[in-house]
Amino acid sequence: MVVFDGVVYKSKAEVVRELFKSGALRNEPQDKNRIAGMLGVAPQTVHATIVSYLNGGARKPVSRTTTDNFKSVREAINKAFDKCYEVAYSRAKNLPKIDILWDLKGTTAGQFRVMNYRPHFRVNLQLASENLEDYINQTIPHEFCHYLVWNDDRLNGLSRSRPHGGEWKFYMTVWFNRVPKATHNYDVSNACRGRRFEYKCVCSTHWLSAIKHTRAQKGLPYTCKKCRTVVKFQG
């Protein structure tokens, strides 16, 4: 990935193409030299990229895991969730099995979500396939513990607990012997589609989609879930 003017691109060539398409880069020596210097490439490289674009040069497709490989990934994930249920049953937790949806995209690895009073898991197959061992060992117990906490709150008539609060940490450490990390550190370059915009809060960096970036620029604040401060655009 390449960060240019606060925007994430998949390559330096994509930076040149997007700047040329937007009119920010003209097919003139002065412009090409300026962009080449900012990107750390030769002016000839910028020129060749523009020529390729004008000639309709095909872009290399991003390598993505095939559907056949996803089948084996789904099977592995189903087995991992089954093991989580076995842990719960061994501790006298009578948890009903819930649906797994395979529709999660972008930079989020997994989710436990409740829609219309129906709980379910969501899995990002792209990130799971690229990080399967860690996904099974860390992400699946992570989401399953959210389910355990939600079920406890439901049975006890409590309002929803903090997403990564003490109850969730207890299940992660005591039941599953896992480090209670709130976020993952997977490479998301293949999972990101379209531009991402760099924002920062007090504790970390956030990459917002083009839609969220537009909303933020119009005044809608986005808050970090960890430090609870408003993220700020770095462009």
Question: Both 16 and 83 in a single domain?
Answer: no
Question: Both 29 and 74 in a single domain?
Answer: no
Say which of 14, 130, 133, 143 is annotated catalytic.
143
Is 180 part of any domain?
no
Question: Both 17 and 94 in a single domain?
Answer: no
Residues 45 and 43: their CA atoms lie apart, in Å, by 5
pTM: 0.56
Is 181 part of any domain?
no
- Render pLDDT for 57-90 as a digit per residue (tens, 0 to 9): 544 444 444 445 688 899 999 999 999 999 999 9
Question: Both 219 and 163 in a single domain?
Answer: no
Question: Both 126 and 207 in a single domain?
Answer: no
Question: Both 28 and 83 in a single domain?
Answer: no
Residues shown for the chain: 235
Domain residue limits at 29? 2-54
| Number of folded domains that form the chain | 3
- Report the half-sphere exposure of 178 (CA within 13 A, side-chain side): 22
- Render pLDDT for 171-196 as a digit per residue (tens, 0 to 9): 999 999 999 988 888 877 676 656 67
Query: In CATH, what number is assigned to the domain containing residue 157?
Result: 3.30.2010
Q: Is 14 a catalytic residue?
A: no
List of residues 6+ apart from 156 with CB closer than 8 A: none
